[in-house]
Each structure stands twice: as C-alpha cells, then as structure tokens.
A = this chain, B = another copy of it.
Amino acid sequence: MFTLLQTDTGPNATRARRGRLQTTHGTIETPIFMPVGTQGTVKALDPRELRELEAQIILGNTYHLSLRPGMEIMERMGGLHRFMGWDGPILTDSGGFQVFSLAKIRKIQEHGVAFQSHIDGSPLFLGPKEAMEIQRIIGSDIAMVLDECPPHAAPEKQLREAVDRTVRWAAECLKQPRAEGQLYFGIAQGGTHKALREECAQRLVDLNFDGYAIGGVSVGETEAEMYEAVEYAEPHLPADKPRYAMGLGTPPQLLELVARGVDMFDCVLPTRIARNGTAFTRQGALTIKASYNKDNEGPIEEGCDCYACRKFSRAYIRHLFHAQEILSLRLLTIHNVRMYLRLMNDVRSHIEAGTFAEFRKEFVAGYVPSEKVREDREKAGE
C-alpha cells in the first residue's frame, strides 16, 4: 500500500524519496506534513478549512482522546472520522509519548505503564493491548505501536531497556485486532546511541510493520544530534515502506529530514506558534504583533495562496491579535498550516524534477532560524 515512485536524482542527489501511501480514507502523496489534531480538532480550524488547505492526513492523540471524550463516547459516535466530521486519513499516536511527558506519577511495568490522568489524577494503565484497542475504536487509518520514549541524555542502561521494551511491546501490538484496513507503524528508539538506534530499527523491521517511525527525537537533544539519530536508523529501514519522523520540525528541518530519506512529519509548531502571534514564512518566523506591521497593507507572506493572505492585511491581523480576537488565531493558523503544506508540495515537485538538492540548499540558506535553533547550534559547537 506504499509505492516508492521516485528517489532523488540529479546533481548531489540526496536520500529524498517521492512516494504514495494508500489508506482506507484516501491516498497520501509523500513527503507529507500532517497537521496535529490532538483533541479531535486541528486547533482553531474546521474540517472544511483543512480541505481548503489541502491537508491530506491529520493526527489524533490517543492519550488525550482516551481521557476526553473517552472511548465509550468515541465508540458510540462511530469513531473519530465521524465524530469530528473529517473523512480524510487520520494517524493516531500510541499515547506513549504523552504518558512519558504529560502524565503524573507513572510506573513502567512488564505489560505497560501505570500512570495518573493529567486532567483529574485518576489512575490509568496503558499497555500494547490498551493502546491498540483505543486506536481500533478511534478507527484511525494509521496506528502507532506503544513505545517507551526515554528522556534525552538517559544513561545507556536506560536506553537499552527502553529499546528492549519497545521491541517487545511492538511485537505484542502486532497481535492486537485492528480497525478495518488500519495500518500499524513501528517506532524506533535508541536515543542518540548509534548501535542502539541501528539495533532497534533492525529488530522492528524483522517484525514487518506497514511503516516505521523514528521516535525519541525532539526530546531535548540538539538539532545535530536529532539529525544523527535519524541517520543512524534510516539506512536500516526498508525502501518499500514509509518512514515517519515524529514531532518534527521547523521548515528547514523538514527539508533536512526529507534529504535524509524521511517521508512523513507531524509537528504542533505551525498551530501552536500561530496562537502566540507568530507566522511562518520562507524567510523565517514573523511576529505579527510587532509595531512595524501596524500599518502594513501587505499579506502575512507575499505569494501565499491561503485565505488569510488573500483577504487580510498584516495591519488587520495585528489589530485582531492585540484586541485578543479569535479571528487572529484562526488566520495565523490557516497561514502556518498552509505554509507547511505548500512547502511539502514544492518538495515533492522538486524531487520529481530532480532539483530537490538545489531547492533545499537555497531554502535553508534563505531561512532565518529562530533563537532556539541558533542556541542549539552553538551548544553543538557549530
């Protein structure tokens, strides 16, 4: 159900791939960015807007949806597609990442993790069985296995245990009943440890999943370490299956990861920073509330075809943001999601045309990185 259409050719060819993934609710052209719809909505957007933005697939979060509305209601409502009015493909994570990052007091056990809800503190348990059962009820097109995501800079012993547990749980997940046509993706861990990354990838491939994710990235490591983690795992993943880098990243990071053979991405950045008044452009981030926008009649980004850029000025959106109007968050979210999706459109065209390496070089050179990324690079001694 995944077709590798083309690999990067042309001068200084990268490992970039052009592919096509068939799912129950539609076809996904890769490389692709997947907007995040944590609680059953991509924040501030409605399904019609997602279609107009040409979103091909969105994410849902197993952890959040299992706490609220809960699987009893989800099942009665006929699954997430029907509940939220989105008939396109949906990918759900396993909830593991949230259990390890959001939940209170947790205890890792043989068959899963005991933890407390971050909403009301109620005691809960999430194991391979539970994670896949929740995703079966949600009815996502792509379900992720439950993995253990250790913190950044965890000692080797802990990384090793997490890899073993992740592989054991992955095997257990494979045995669970699926929603009709549901695909299962494995998740490679191993932190920044080369041998463990390689081993984890290989052992998951032996289990034969429909696709493979690289997890345990963007958990506090530097940008350079993140690229390395991907480079360690990627050569061990089969060419005929999609590769997904979880929770990444900035626009230039997406291009760097495409160049390293990754096909699928998800990230809260475009929707989250929109709600902080920041817009992504191909030159870098733009702070809409800045006073230099106060009488700027131009759009957020010249050449952008989104509703916000076609119809409204920076001056207006800035006014709305200062006046704390919901419409400002909507318009910035629309632009940021469209910016990411247009960028991936261009990535696909350039791979097809054999001009991806050039496009990547020019884009990355022309993009002003954020404070945080610059600090990371200094830390990494670049």
Contact B76 A295 (CB under 8 A): yes
| A41 x B320 contact (CB < 8 A) | yes
| Min CB gap A92→B, angstroms | 16
Query: A315 interface residue, CB < 8 Å from B?
Result: yes
User: What are 27 residue pairs bridging A and B, where the CB atoms are less than 8 Å apart in the complex?
Assistant: A39-B320, A40-B319, A40-B320, A40-B323, A40-B325, A41-B325, A41-B327, A43-B325, A43-B326, A45-B327, A47-B311, A48-B307, A64-B323, A68-B319, A68-B323, A69-B294, A69-B319, A73-B315, A73-B319, A76-B295, A77-B295, A77-B313, A77-B316, A83-B319, A326-B326, A326-B329, A330-B330
- Partner of A85 from B48, B68, B316, B323 at Cβ < 8 Å: B316
Distance (Å) between the CB of A369 and the closest chain B CB? 29
Q: Quick check: A84 and B44 within 8 Å, CB to CB?
A: no
Question: What separation, in Å, do the CA atoms of A313 and B79 have in the docked complex?
Answer: 13
Are B46 and A330 within 8 A (Cβ)? Answer: yes
A322 interface hit (Cβ, 8 Å): yes
Hey, which chain B residues are within 8 Å of A48, CB to CB? Answer: 307
Q: Which residues of B contact A161 (CB under 8 A)?
A: none
Chain B CB within 8 A of A312 CB:
yes
Within 8 A of B (CB), among A298-328: 307, 311-313, 315-316, 319-320, 322-323, 325-327
Q: In chain A, residues 99-118, which have Cβ atoms closer than 8 Å to a Cβ of chain B?
A: none
- A240 an interface residue at 8 Å Cβ cutoff? no
Interface residue A297 (Cβ < 8 Å from any Cβ of B)? yes
**Given contact pairs A40-B319, A41-B327, A73-B315, a sample of 10 additional A-B residue pairs in the complex whose CB atoms are under 8 Å apart:** A40-B325, A41-B325, A46-B327, A46-B330, A72-B295, A73-B295, A83-B315, A85-B311, A85-B312, A326-B330
Which A residues contact B (CB, under 8 angstroms)? 39-41, 43-48, 64, 68-69, 72-73, 76-77, 83-85, 294-295, 297, 307, 311-313, 315-316, 319-320, 322-323, 325-327, 329-331
Q: Is the CB of A315 within 8 A of B85?
A: no
Q: Could you say which residues of chain B place their CB within 8 Å of the CB of A320?
A: 39-41
Q: How far is the CA of A315 from the CA of B316 in the complex (A)?
A: 35
In the docked arrangement, what's the CA distance between A323 and B64, Å? 9
- A73: nearest residue on chain B (CB-CB)? B295
Min Cβ gap A283→B in Å is: 24
**Among A68, A77, A84, A323, residue most surrounded by chain B Cβ atoms (within 10 Å):** A323
Q: Give 3 closest A-B pairs by Cβ, nearest first.
A: A39-B323, A69-B319, A44-B326
Which residues of the partner chain B approach A312 to less than 8 Å between Cβ atoms? Answer: 85
Chain B residue, CB-CB nearest to A326: B44
Once bound together, how far apart are the Cα atoms of A85 and B331, in whole Å? 13
Shortest Cβ distance from residue A336 to the other chain B in the assembled complex, whole angstroms: 14
Q: Which of B77, B327, B330 contacts A315 (CB 8 A)?
A: B77
The distance from the CB of A222 to the nearest CB of chain B, in whole angstroms, is 33
- Minimal Cβ-Cβ distance residue in B for A84: B316
Query: Chain B nearest CB: distance from A153 CB in Å?
Result: 33
Q: Please, which residues of chain B bring their CB within 8 A of the CB of A326?
A: 43-44, 326, 329-330
Instruction: Check A77–B297 contact: CB distance below 8 A.
Output: yes
Chain B residue at minimal CB-CB distance from A312: B85
Residues in B whose Cβ lies below 8 Å from that of A327: 41, 43-46
Residue of B nearest to A38 (CB): B323
Most interface-central of A46, A313, A320 (chain B CB within 10 A): A46
- List chain B residues, Cβ under 8 A from A329: 326
**Chain B residues whose CB sits within 8 angstroms of the CB of A325 once the complex forms:** 39-41, 43
Residues of chain B contacted by A83 (CB below 8 angstroms): 313, 315-316, 319
* Chain B residues, Cβ within 8 Å of A72: 295
